[in-house]
Every structure is written in C-alpha cells, then in structure tokens.
Amino acid sequence: MDRRILIVDDDRDIAGLIEIYLRNEGYSADTAYDGEEALEKLERDTFDLVVLDVMMPKLDGLEACRRIRRDREIPILMVSAKTEDMDKVLGLMTGADDYMVKPFNPLELLARVKSLLRRSYQYNKSGADPARDEIIEVGPLRIDKRSHLVEAEGRPVKLTTTEFGILALLAGSPGRVFSAEEIFQQVWKEKYFESNNTVMVHISKLREKLEQETGDKLVVTVWGVGYKIEG
C-alpha cells in the first residue's frame, strides 16, 4: 500500500532532500513550509505520517503538533536543530512519537519513518478470523489491537501510536514489570541506549491521559525497575 507522508520544514533544501529520499523508497510525499500550511494540507488530504520541523515561521512545530493531536493520531516524527534533552522532552510531551536532531543522516530518518509506519499499521490490521487476544480488558480499559482503539468504561481514549504500543504491551501482561529497555526494544524495535529518556516521557503522557479518563493511576512506576499496569 502506498504511504503518504507530509514533510513540514521552512528550509526548502532540507524539505526537498527528505522528499527525494522518501520518494526513492516508494513513498508519496508532499511538503509544507510552515505550521499553518501543514494544518491546511492535513484538513484537505489524508497522510500516514508527518515529518515536522520545530523552528518555523507563522506557526512553529510545537504548536502545530499540539493542534494535530487534538483530533488526529497520525504518527509524527519531529526534527529540530535543538539538541538539549529538555527540547526533546518538550517535543515528545506535545505529542510527537519520535524526535531527531539536525543535521541528521537521511538513512537514519528513513529508518525512523519505516519504524513509525510499521508500529502504526501493525495495530490497525483486521482479519476475517481475529484471535481472541486481540481484545485486552484490564481494569476499566478495553483495548482493541485490531482497530487501535482504547475505551475507558465505554469512553474513547485518544492515544498516539507510540502510547498505544506501550499500553498494549503493559496491558498484555498485567502486573508484570517492564524495564525501560524492554519497552523501548519491543515498541520501537530499536537498540536502547542508557541515557534515552524517550520511554519515560511517553509513559508520563500515557499515564496522564489514562488518569484523566479513569481517575486512577493505572500505570505504576516501580522505582529502579520499570513500569507495570495493574490488573
């Protein structure tokens, strides 16, 4: 299936380079040069992933990401020249699924895009004879891995692709403690680095959303060990 990707960057040279690499891999690509144009294109067309720069005129990437997340679960790969850990944390907290620092190797960007698309669509496959374990019920939550839907006592819970992946992993083994390394390797399908705080940020956002919907702290931190969800 053809995947459509929206590239959002005010640097036309970088946007053009990303577009060339994506098209060479068989993806369809469109470009926007500021956040406002990106939102307009998302209203008109359907995309499978957004590559989103942070520092742009009119509407920066952080605010654009917040607005996209109001009603869309589309995977977002944020790119920025800002290299501090707090900049990465801020980007992930606004709803990005992944974060890359400029300048980046185009081949690494392609790998991140493929990983995000793979994670996104592995939760949206539906078959004629679905397995029973495609539906997970834990506490007030009902998680449908086929349709990528989560409900809390019948109310829909809006999660990003990454948040859904983490929740499905934890809920699949209630009470089991998963280390940050295990979560990263199973959800991101990449090698984990000790200084990586990506899991912590996504866990924080997931916990916040679930607590808002249920009033309970379903995702528990086991200090020094990892994270679990109570059955």
Q: Is 8 left (phi over 0), alpha (psi -120 to 50) or beta?
A: beta
Q: Both 107 and 169 in a single domain? A: no
For 9-21, the pLDDT digits (tens) are 999 999 999 999 9
Of the candidates 83, 102, 122, which is a domain's last residue? 122
Of the candidates 98, 122, 146, which is a domain's last residue? 122
For 166-211, the pLDDT digits (tens) are 999 999 888 899 999 999 888 887 777 765 688 888 999 999 999 9
C-beta separation of 20 from 12 below 8 A: no
Q: Both 86 and 168 in a single domain? A: no
Given a cut of 60, whether residue 129 has pLDDT beyond it is: no
List, in sequence order, every residue forming a beta bridge with 79; answer none if it has no partner: 53, 100
Lowest mean pLDDT among 129-138, 156-165, 172-181, 188-197: 129-138
Q: What is d(CA 154, CA 190) in angstroms, rounded to the nearest whole number?
A: 34
Helix axes 198-214, 85-93, angle to 10 degrees: 30
pTM: 0.71
Q: Both 105 and 144 in a single domain? A: no
Structural domain containing residue 218: 132-229
Average pLDDT, the chain: 87
Highest mean pLDDT: which range of 39-48, 91-100, 103-112, 129-138: 39-48
Of the candidates 63, 97, 122, which is a domain's last residue? 122
CATH number at residue 213: 1.10.10.10
List, in sequence order, every residue forming a beta bridge with 52; answer none if it has no partner: 8, 78
Given a cut of 70, whether residue 130 has pLDDT beyond it is: no
> Buried b / exposed e across 80-115, counting CB within 10 Å, b at 16+?
beeeeeebbbbbbbbbbbbbbeeeeeeeebbebbeb
pLDDT in the model for residue 128: 37
Q: Both 113 and 207 in a single domain? A: no
Number of domains making up the chain = 2
